């Protein structure tokens, strides 16, 4: 099935089922990515860094751009500020169907410092992300066609959505979407209150997409968990029956767990990568796009890993053409 392709005459006449939608709801902002920074500078000094890129960022935009690289046209719902940078940001999203709430605020910006070995540090301004409202999201999320997926990202950066995030996920599910969630990292840490809050979200998810550290943290609500397999069991028990828990393992690949069984996909050894920003977001898109095309869990894990592996070595990222990475979704022989 071709995703979100322009509707054919047959589909328009009602003889062919409408294609599934791929909607993404979350943080859209501007990233200034630069590096490499080895060691932390002394306060009050200046460093010249040799490589940099100003680009659309935020995990929802990263996922939508990854979809554009794969030749898909997702629907991105989020917000922008009310300044010149917001207009620039819109231009970066050409080719993506966007519904972005204009907020009376500066555009949120992240400075992402890249360190040797793939680690990075972000400094993010509050900006417009503070103002995205659930009403705007629900007004722009159309009823789902069969098989549609909506990916929610970065709830911790979106206080307006976070206030009743479980309710928002439940409403998307009621509208017929499979709900996918990438929680991201809570700025206040995994407090008991955050655990209770996130558990109310997990009960609404069909696909939970988290990294290893998030999985271990989520599993350590009552007592500490130090073993990934045990963590997977504990987190899976918080999801609704039949839901998929996907753990992103970086260069080591990914693990999928459903109905009490786990499956691992081993990633291919990556070369030394300068810019790892958006690795998880790219994986999410590859994985979900494959699931929308009815791929098996194993094939979807592989598509997620291939998508991230194709995007990460590219710098600057804005040179990747629409559809250039469509091969990542082709079944492998």
Write out the residues near ligand RIB by the rule CB under 6 A.
29, 31, 57-59, 62, 110, 112, 122, 124, 277-278, 281
User: What's the min distance (Å) between Cβ of 153 and ligand RIB?
Assistant: 8
Quickly list H helices, the chain.
Answer: 9-12, 59-69, 84-92, 134-140, 159-162, 165-174, 192-202, 212-219, 228-236, 279-292, 297-311
Q: Which is nearer to ligand RIB, 214 or 281 (CB)?
A: 281
Q: Which is nearer to ligand RIB, 152 or 225 (CB)?
A: 152
User: What's the min distance (Å) between Cβ of 18 and ligand RIB?
Assistant: 31
User: What's the min distance (Å) between Cβ of 307 and ligand RIB?
Assistant: 14
User: What's the min distance (Å) between Cβ of 48 and ligand RIB?
Assistant: 23
Q: Which of 25, 282, 291, 304 is nearest to 152 (CA)?
A: 25
Q: Which is nearer to ligand RIB, 19 or 127 (CB)?
A: 127
Q: Which residues contact 210 (CB under 8 A, 6 or more apart)?
A: 182, 183, 218, 235, 245, 246, 247, 248
User: What's the min distance (Å) between Cβ of 182 and ligand RIB?
Assistant: 8
Q: Which is nearer to ligand RIB, 186 or 278 (CB)?
A: 278
Give the number of other Cβ atoms within 10 Å of residue 213's Cβ.
10
Tell me the sheet residues that pair with 184: none
Query: Residue 211, exposed/middle/buried by CB under 10 A (0-12, 13-18, 19+)?
Result: buried
Q: Name the residue number minimizing CB distance to ligand RIB.
A: 57
Q: Which is nearer to ligand RIB, 112 or 267 (CB)?
A: 112
d(CA 10, CA 48): 57
Q: Find the helix or strand (DSSP H, E) in which 113 lies.
A: strand 109-114
Q: Which of 274, 283, 332 is nearest to 308 (CA)?
A: 283
Q: Enter the tokens of residue 9.
A: 């005459």
Strand, coil or helix: what is 90? Answer: helix
User: What's the min distance (Å) between Cβ of 70 and ligand RIB?
Assistant: 17
Q: Are 304 and 284 in contact (CB under 8 A)?
A: yes
Tell me the sheet residues that pair with 179: 150
Q: Which is nearer to ligand RIB, 110 or 148 (CB)?
A: 110
Q: Which is nearer to ligand RIB, 71 or 127 (CB)?
A: 127
User: What's the min distance (Å) between Cβ of 173 and ligand RIB?
Assistant: 24
């Amino acid at each position: 099935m071709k995703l979100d392709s322009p509707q054919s005459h047959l589909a328009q006449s009602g003889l062919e089922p409408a294609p599934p939608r791929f909607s993404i709801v979350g943080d859209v902002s501007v990233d200034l990515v630069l590096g490499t920074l080895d060691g932390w500078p002394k306060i009050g000094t200046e460093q010249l860094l040799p490589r940099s890129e100003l680009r659309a960022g935020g995990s929802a935009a990263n996922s939508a751009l990854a979809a554009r690289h794969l030749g898909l046209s997702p629907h991105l719902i989020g917000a922008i500020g009310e300044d010149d940078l917001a207009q620039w940001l819109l231009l970066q999203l050409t080719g993506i169907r966007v519904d972005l709430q204009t907020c009376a605020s500066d555009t949120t910006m992240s400075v992402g410092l890249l360190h040797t070995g793939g680690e990075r540090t972000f400094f993010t301004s509050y900006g417009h992300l503070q103002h995205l409202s659930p009403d705007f999201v629900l007004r722009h999320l159309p009823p789902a066609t069969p098989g549609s997926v909506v990916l929610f990202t970065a709830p911790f950066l979106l206080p307006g959505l976070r206030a009743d995030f479980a309710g928002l996920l439940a409403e998307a599910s009621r509208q017929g979407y499979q709900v996918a969630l990438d929680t991201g990292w809570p700025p206040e840490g995994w407090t008991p209150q955050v655990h209770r809050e996130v558990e109310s979200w997990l009960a609404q998810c069909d696909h939970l997409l988290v990294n290893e550290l998030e999985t271990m943290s989520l599993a350590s609500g009552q007592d500490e968990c130090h073993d990934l397999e045990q963590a997977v069991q504990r987190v899976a028990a918080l999801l609704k029956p039949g839901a998929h828990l996907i753990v992103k393992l970086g260069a080591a690949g990914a693990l999928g767990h459903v109905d009490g069984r786990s499956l691992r996909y081993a990633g291919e050894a990556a070369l030394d990568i300068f810019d790892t920003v958006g690795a998880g977001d790219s994986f999410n898109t590859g994985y979900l796009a494959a699931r929308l095309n009815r791929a098996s869990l194993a094939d979807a894990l592989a598509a997620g890993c291939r998508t991230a592996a194709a995007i990460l070595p590219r710098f600057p990222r804005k040179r990747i053409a629409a559809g250039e990475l469509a091969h990542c979704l082709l079944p492998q022989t």
